[in-house]
Amino acid sequence: MKKNKGIIDQIKKIKQEKSIYIIAHYYQRAEIQDIADFVGDSYAMAVSAKNSAADTILVAGVDFMAESAAILCPEKTVLIPEPNASCPMADKVDINDILRFKEENPEGLVVSYVNTPAAVKAVSDICVTSSNAVKIIEQLPKDARILFVPDENLGHYVAKKLNRSMDFYASSCPTHETVTRDDIMQLKEQYPEAEVLVHPECEPGVVALADYVGSTSGIIDYAASSDKDQLIIGTENGILHRIRQLVPDKELILAHRELICPNMKSITLNKILHSLETNETIVTVPEDIRTKAEVALKKMIDYAS
């Protein structure tokens, strides 16, 4: 951290001078989590952006996270320090597929993961995230046909949890899919006393072997309260930083060495400083899309509260 002290001091100075609020995802680099005003999962980031009193919000996350802040806070300036930080899973969604479903199923409901572009949210009935998907879909009409727009692994997890039939958009997180059932089996054999904590974006075979399945914030809370000394963690490695802060004596074993999201890790302190100094890059959402997407996001917040 010493080598970054000069950059961190500059960031703090500009934040105070310009009324800037930095929100970061748990998958960010440790040093970025440490300088953020708020660190959380996608859902908590959206709520934090909405509730912030600052004039400018800098989002240390991928593009859909910055879009969510811009949708909920049209009166604020929203910055993203790396505009090319995107989500491969979200990028695979073709809006025409969703419109086709709505045309063929006029009574159907489109439930979109918050990890989707603003244009997808705009044609969705409601958004969800991994921390609230079960709670929200449980409240939807039992006889409604649902198209769950990715992650399809999360969709399968929710459907099984609720014993409910749903259609799934064929796209998933390439980072979480690096973890295989064999990986977990080998680690359980190597660490027989360890608990397995995984994100529902992992494939169903991995989820079936877990002691706990939940969002990033859920995994952190469970890890902090677990009485086990060893924990096998099945989500992006950035989460380890927060768990170590809470329970430094526990041994954390990453379920796969490739559990690293290159898009999340493309954001650096230097890029954040540049963004604050130059006001780049400002994230905007066309108003016709923003207002429709806002309905789906606000409905998520209402249903989850």
Chain mean pLDDT for the chain? 96
Query: Which two structure tokens, joined as six digits, stand for 25?
Result: 């995802």
> Which residue's entry shows tokens 């749903």?
166
Q: Is the pLDDT of residue 301 over 60?
A: yes
Give yes or no for residue 54 having a pLDDT over 90: yes
- pLDDT in the model for residue 43: 82
DSSP 192-207: TT-EEEE-TTS-HHHH
Evaluate if residue 223 carries a pLDDT over 60: yes
* pLDDT of 42: 87
> Can you point out the beta strands (E) in the chain?
20-25, 38-40, 56-60, 77-79, 109-113, 126-128, 146-149, 167-168, 195-198, 212-213, 230-234, 251-254
What are the C-alpha distances in Å from 212 to residues 196, 207, 226? Answer: 6, 8, 10
Given a cut of 70, whether residue 2 has pLDDT beyond it is no
pLDDT at 140: 98
Per-residue model confidence (pLDDT) at position 3: 73
Q: SS3 of 181, please? A: helix
Backbone phi, psi, residue 110, to 5°: -100, 115
Domain 2-85+264-285 has CATH 3.40.50.10800: yes
User: What pLDDT, in 10s, does the model give residues 159-196?
Assistant: 999 999 999 999 999 999 999 999 999 999 999 999 99
Mean local confidence (pLDDT), 95-119: 97
pTM, entire model: 0.95
* CATH topology (fold) of 89-172+290-304: Rossmann fold (3.40.50)
Instruction: Name the fold adopted by 176-254.
Output: Rossmann fold (3.40.50)
What's the pLDDT tens digit per position in 132-148? 999 999 999 999 999 99
Return the pLDDT at 213: 98
Q: Provide the pLDDT for residue 131.
A: 93
Q: Of 23-27, 41-45, 240-244, 286-290, where does mean pLDDT reach its minimum?
A: 41-45
Beta bridge partners of 109: 146
pLDDT at 1: 55
> Which regions of the chain carry the CATH code 3.40.50.10800?
2-85+264-285, 89-172+290-304, 176-254
